[in-house]
Amino acid sequence: MSCKVVIGAQWGDEGKGKIIDILSRDADIIVRYQGGNNAGHTVVIGDREFILHLIPSGILRKGKLCVIGNGVVVDPEALLKEIDMLKAKGIKIDGNLLISESSHVILPYHKVIDKRRGAHIGTTGRGIGPCYVDKMARCGIRMIDIVNKETLRRKLSANLEDSDEFNFGQIYKEYLEYGKKIKKYLVNVSSLLNKAIAKKKDILFEGAQGTLLDIDHGTYPYVTSSSATAGGACTGAGVGPTRIDKVIGVVKAYTTRIGEGPFPTEFKKGLMEKIRTKGKEFGATTGRPRRCGWFDAVIVKHAVTVNGMDEIVVTKLDVLDEMDKIKICTGYRYKGKVYKDFPADIDILEKCIPVYEVRDGWMKDTTSAAKYKDLPENAKKYLARLSKLLNVKIGMVSVGSKREQAFRI
């Protein structure tokens, strides 16, 4: 029995979908605990590609229980669409999916506000931030509220009291309908998980986004509005920290980010196009091109620390196969000083000159490597160097999008 948390160690899109899919083979229950349909987890099974935004990717394996915790913000329309999409592809949902009664609901006004006010952050426009704002302001509407006519009427009318823009009747009717369809999935997730832990079940907590997008530990304010770090698993699912056995971080062999905000190791145009094309670096949720750059050991070291990572998984190593020189950022130079630790001052991140060490690439195809031994010498050296800089063990390496293109080391 064990409880593992898998989280992103950069700005999201580290390839967590695939790693969670592999790790969920041995899990009984897979839990999402924060974020909403701003996430996009891509899983390739055979020649079929699935992109999941809300439902844990464990749903693609037969007989796994998938759970959405209280820390998630759920857009019922997006949830029902995802359920229909999966059912149409022959995936069993009923009996395999449960949702916390306490998770907060994204309403139409959240999406409108997000599109209006989130532009400078480059949000996904899915209403995530404004929904968490209402949660913290104690005027949010929870899943349990949309299955109760009176509660929904009271809360929604209070929220729309001063609004000429949104039609109470229309939203009320629409959300009651969603409530009817979703009711069968609602449970007390904390109670369910703690009973499962007592029965020694294997539980996998899947983080969405990444550490540098975490509301507390990321590049604030260019972050998402939830706790994307390992601690979020406890508050977002109702499981105590003493129950977590292992924290696994997922890192790309280079760095990407979507949306606005500082990115010290960002490539210039030529290299940007090359890596973006090779790594298929386009957002799974919005289709936006991802910004790409060299591996930044400063941010990942920060992620290792704030998450208490036991090991990391390095993904997309193959994307660097054709690079004759590979750089690793080991510090930030700013106003005559070199910062080796992650600075809270956004000005340093925006204006610093990255300090790089330059390594020889391996210039060989790694996509067919089936074990660590198969990797070219320079690829092994690159991994060893990352492990040393980050002071954490590398547990697995991924060299392509397919399930079989990954091995433990």
Interface residue list for ligand IMP (CB under 6 A):
11-13, 38-40, 118, 121-124, 126, 128-129, 208-209, 213, 224-225, 258-259
Q: How many residues does the chain have?
A: 409
Amino acid of residue 23: L
118, 129 Cβ separation under 8 angstroms: yes
Q: Which is nearer to ligand IMP, 258 or 292 (CB)?
A: 258
State the minimum distance, in angstroms, from the CB of residue 385 to ligand IMP.
26
Q: What stretch of H or E contains 77?
A: helix 76-88
Distances (CA, A) of 300 to 68, 314, 319, 363: 27, 11, 19, 25
- For helices 128-136 and 108-117, angle between their N-to-C axes, nearest 10 degrees: 110
State the minimum distance, in angstroms, from the CB of residue 130 to ligand IMP.
9
Q: Which is nearer to ligand IMP, 289 or 361 (CB)?
A: 289
β strands within 308-399, DSSP E: 311-315, 325-334, 337-339, 353-360, 393-398
Q: Catalytic annotation on 341?
A: no
State the minimum distance, in angstroms, from the CB of residue 127 to ligand IMP.
8
Q: Which is nearer to ligand IMP, 43 or 258 (CB)?
A: 258
State the minimum distance, in angstroms, from the CB of residue 180 to ligand IMP.
28
The token duo for 22 is 């592999």
Q: Catalytic annotation on 104?
A: no
Closest residue to ligand IMP: CB criterion: 259
Which residues, in sequence order, are CB contacts of 165 under 8 Å at separation 6+?
A: 109, 112
Q: Which is nearer to ligand IMP, 16 or 301 (CB)?
A: 16
- Residue 231, helix vs strand vs coil: helix
State the minimum distance, in angstroms, from the CB of residue 370 to ligand IMP.
29
Nearest alpha-carbon partner for 205 in 327, 70, 298, 324: 70
Q: Which is nearer to ligand IMP, 80 or 121 (CB)?
A: 121
Give me the catalytic one of 41, 53, 110, 302.
41
Radius of gyration of the chain measured on its C-alpha atoms: 21
**Distance of alpha carbon 254 from alpha carbon 265, whole angstroms:** 9
The token duo for 401 is 């999008």
Tell me the catalytic residues.
Answer: 13, 41
